[in-house]
Amino acid sequence: MTEPHKATPDNALEAPAQIETAILAGGCFWCVEAVFRELDGVVKVESGYCGGTRETADYQQVCTGRTDHAEAVRISYDARRISYEDLLKVFFSVAHDPTQKDRQGNDRGRQYRSAIFSVDEKQRAAAMAAIERLTRDQFFKDPIVTEVVTEHPFYPAESYHNNYAACHPSQPYIAHVATPKVEKLRRYFRHMLRDEPPP
């Protein structure tokens, strides 16, 4: 006797996650992290330092602006749910101002530079194409100064930096700089937001 057919649960039909990595620098990593944590498909966002050496990859030294690090975020994302190109759209239009060289607002120094640390040639090509398109369409009044470089080692920041904006929403810098970016994201990229609270 044949057993009755059992329906396959919906989640059993789902393909496994395709986790990829993006490394972006756009000023204070507290603010950049706060923006990308909101996106559906983003699994993890880590604050850290990219572009310098391991020996000087700590907050006190990076803050001097003399270590050649950039405050950066390493984004782990499910490429089945959000594309690298979509991450770049948010990076250029919400997370920071890519026309400011070695600064973001009142934060000044090379550690606050705009940079994309591509992990492979595909990412590099996508980043260059995005910059060329934004330049051609005159999306910004001033030239884009974002550096596109091959990946440097990423050094995780001290643990207290991670998820800083969510943990300190009333801190003045967060309230005046990070929160408006998140609000802009929610206003213009509602279709890309996660349904559940960020991890």
Q: How many residues comprise the chain?
A: 199
Assigned token pair, 170:
């009333």
If you compute the radius of gyration of the chain from its CA atoms, what whole number of angstroms results?
19
Cβ atoms of 98 and 193 within 8 Å: the answer is no
Is residue 105 left, alpha or beta, with left meaning phi > 0 and alpha meaning psi from -120 to 50?
Answer: left
CA dihedral for 143, 146, 148, 149, sign (positive or negative): positive
Scan for tokens 């009044």, then name that residue: 141
The yes-or-no answer on residue 28 being catalytic is yes
Q: Which position among 28, 31, 50, 167 bears the catalytic label?
A: 28
Catalytic residue annotation: 28
